[in-house]
Structure 1
């Protein structure tokens, strides 16, 4: 993949990731930051607060029960997981993005790419944003597998982003130079850029190293008029229903000057509430990790017979 293409992936990953972090957010909670709250709305609030503070480790700890968190750490160490990074939109582009930003001369090459494609092209950018927004809405309207509420929210999100992009100073050369320099500098502080480095660093160390990079991404977006932290602070939560260990929460927040609404299901496990989708995803991931670990385990050594020789397995009928 060329530096130009990876640069595009980097910008796209950062934008979408930060926006969808806002979807899961709510106002600051007064609960203990080290423990998952016992109420659905408070659970979402606590996770959102960790994200607003760029505390990715804290967010991960609040996203799953403690016993599952430990298993996810082990799965990471074994090379079978990169959660919670895989939970981010376009998470598979994170390492290519870091690699592109860490290449020698990345600032110069990315600036040249910007100059060729976007510099001074305000009208073209507006038209492209409008076209992509229209395409995204039509795609979502014909896409199967979403609930009506999910579909409505995703359409609202696409329309909001398209409207923002049409007015954002995306073609501003000086702003691009500053943004590229900030991202390249932040990427240089991350101590890995491939799967092996990520595994060697461990889950918590990797998240701690990525936190300043995520902070820089949010600052870059804010410089273009997309205030992710403002969206995080604006969200309000309302408990709609609780049935046994299942709850439904309505979140309302402001993004790029528009009011957004989304309903989020939560599930109670080990006495605390977690996002239902996160639990389903991590349950599936851990099943796969367990299967991979079992497949890689050596065959058991046959037990010796009474005369000291290894027993010969009996032939299958």
Structure 2
């Protein structure tokens, strides 16, 4: 499902902090923010591992910003393109295949001969294709206006670890493919999406539930091919670097696919609670842009109505 405007500008910084922000302490995750920078990150990780996306946003943003996110939710549909008949047909066909009777066996029977053919055709080319994809991703990260320089460096380190994994992973393995098909079918059935229009009309809470289901399926798929998100989260060690005047820096050491990595995270304090500085700035920028766009479109809509009269 398409990420709305607000998520495109704020979700990536959130996950950059969350995937690299675990520590082994306890904090009241029912409250927004954390009593310390480390506690704020730990509570976010606990919510992420639980798949509680609504609780995650409620914790990761101050109350007023969380309220703005919910109030802005429908504004992200403003620029949505109409769904074409072809898009609707493709969606219906895909969902029927994924959720129909005996979908697992039917899909695997269809996939099995294709895997053998693809392995013969692309086995030697795949490392090159993966390297090209890696270069494109790194270029996109470098040109991003959403990520900070620290996050760009962090993302580059992660990609350097993921590239060897992607090259060595047996993507055409029949047993793994069969497991992956099972996960995809189970996830599609849990999502229970009846039409592409449904994805655009869901309220905030319903959408967060769908994101949680999709995220759970994605974690299972990655684990099948040797990448455990939870293992990475559990490996993180945090070391406070500095804290003064309501701003803090935390050093983050973690392991991804057996490779040690490190970065730093900036947090800021509001009303006695700590939040990710990058996330908060991006969430507020997204809210401001949405409000400005809505205000700009209002006179145009009113003018159109007067003209029609």
TM-score normalised per structure 2: 0.72
TM-superposed deviation, 1:173: 2.9
Q: 1:195 to 1:288 in 2, by over 3 A?
A: farther
Asked whether the equivalents of residues 266 and 276 of structure 1 are also in contact (C-alpha less than 8 Å), the reply is: yes
Alignment of 1:190-205 (within 5 A): 190-192=191-193, 196-205=197-206
TM-superposed deviation, 1:159: 1.3
Q: Quick one: distance in 2 between partners of 1:32 and 1:220?
A: 31
Task: Give the corresponding residue for 1:45.
Answer: 42
Asked whether the equivalents of residues 17 and 276 of structure 2 are also in contact (C-alpha less than 8 Å), the reply is: no
TM-superposed deviation, 1:141: 10
1:96-125 per-position Cα deviation (integer Å, ceiling 9, x unaligned): 9x9489433357498379638744554443
Q: Quick one: distance in 2 between partners of 1:58 and 1:216?
A: 19
Alignment of 1:1-317 (within 5 A): 20=16, 23-35=19-31, 36-76=33-73, 79-81=74-76, 99=91, 102-105=94-97, 108=107, 111=111, 115=115, 118-119=118-119, 121-130=122-131, 132-133=133-134, 139=139, 149-192=150-193, 196-294=197-295, 295-296=297-298
Task: Give the corresponding residue for 2:83.
Answer: none
Relative contact order, higher structure (CA 8 A, sep 6+): 2
Counterpart secondary structure, 1:248: strand
Task: Give the corresponding residue for 1:88.
Answer: none
1:179-221 per-position Cα deviation (integer Å, ceiling 9, x unaligned): 1331233123224477753453211221123212211110110
Asked whether the equivalents of residues 33 and 46 of structure 1 are also in contact (C-alpha less than 8 Å), the reply is: yes
- From the two aligned structures, give the one with the greater helix fraction: 2
Asked whether the equivalents of residues 125 and 171 of structure 1 are also in contact (C-alpha less than 8 Å), the reply is: no
Q: 1:114 to 1:60 in 2, by over 3 A?
A: farther
1:129-174 per-position Cα deviation (integer Å, ceiling 9, x unaligned): 345446766x489769777644543332111001111221212133
Name structure 2 gaps, 5 residues minimum.
Answer: 3-11, 78-86, 303-309
Q: 1:186 to 1:136 in 2, by over 3 A?
A: closer
Counterpart secondary structure, 2:96: coil
Mean CA deviation greater in 113-122 or 173-182: 113-122
Bigger Rg, structure 1 or 2: 1
Q: Quick one: distance in 2 between partners of 1:269 and 1:101?
A: 49
